[in-house]
Amino acid sequence: MKRLYTILAVGCFAFGFSQALKQDQRVWMAYVGQYKASPKWGYHMEAQFRMDNQLEQNMQNLFRVGVVYHFSESKNITAGYALVNTYSATADDYFKENRLWEQYQMTTKWSKDILINRFRLEQRWVEQFGISEVGQTVSETAYQNRFRILNRFLWHLTTLKSEKEQLYVVVQNELFATLGKNKVNSKGIDQNRFLVGFGLNYNNTIRLELGYMNHYITSSSASDLMNHTVSISLFHNIVL
């Protein structure tokens, strides 16, 4: 329980970043697939669609792939590529981000409860809009290094019709920190995502989660933003 309290405390830290704050609502939908091709090797496939609260405007979409190496059942490393398209209301257009990423993940189990610790490095190339004769267009690409720390706790609630069907609570927090000088966000803390929700686990192969995410985004040029987000995620783990 001490680890759970730590996750909650870090999540609450998100509320104190800035006094100048805008708030909005979002709906996030995600598919995350982990495919194990051999005892040591596998691959990662992920797609996310991040909408406004009316499901009318696609604010951002993300596609991530990677190659996974398993040291053991509880420890692995992954390296891959991500493509991100983000909508700018000011330009009324999308800007692109190309991203390389590397991570180390560790899983700890107590009976049916699970704690996941993940450490991720990202190298980001983000398009920047500028003013031209025809309006706002992409004028340059800015580079940023970013470090992410995720703590994710799955607390077993009850078994349903059989041992294959289990209901659980998920509590997680992910902190994003910028590394070095960059033109994307000059603040040390880039953003924070705190989530709490419920999940349904089927045979440790499929997990469906529904939750609330408090997504805090800092800005070096405007007011900080807090998005109150409905999060819907499908996790798929397959041994090929």
Task: Determine contact, residues 154/167, Cβ cutoff 8 Å.
Answer: no
Position 10 pLDDT exceeds 90 = no
Report the sign of the C-alpha dihedral through residues 12, 33, 104, 181, in that order. Answer: negative
Task: Determine contact, residues 123/99, Cβ cutoff 8 Å.
Answer: yes
pLDDT at 132: 59
In the chain, pLDDT over 90 holds for what percent of residues? 73
> Can you tell me the distance from the alpha carbon of 67 to that of 127, in angstroms, rounded to the nearest whole number?
26
pLDDT at 91: 85
pLDDT in tens, 207-238: 999 999 999 999 877 789 999 999 999 999 99
β-strands 21-36, 165-179: how paired?
A: unpaired
In the chain, pLDDT over 70 holds for what percent of residues? 88
pLDDT at 9: 47
The pTM assigned to this predicted structure is: 0.88
Position 52 pLDDT exceeds 50 = yes
- What architecture (CATH level 2) is domain 2-239? Beta Barrel (2.40)
- What residue segments make up the domains of the chain, in order of their start? 2-239
Q: What's the whole-number mean pLDDT along residues 11-35?
A: 79
> Can you tell me the distance from the alpha carbon of 128 to that of 139, in angstroms, rounded to the nearest whole number?
6
pLDDT in tens, 58-82: 999 999 999 999 999 999 999 999 9
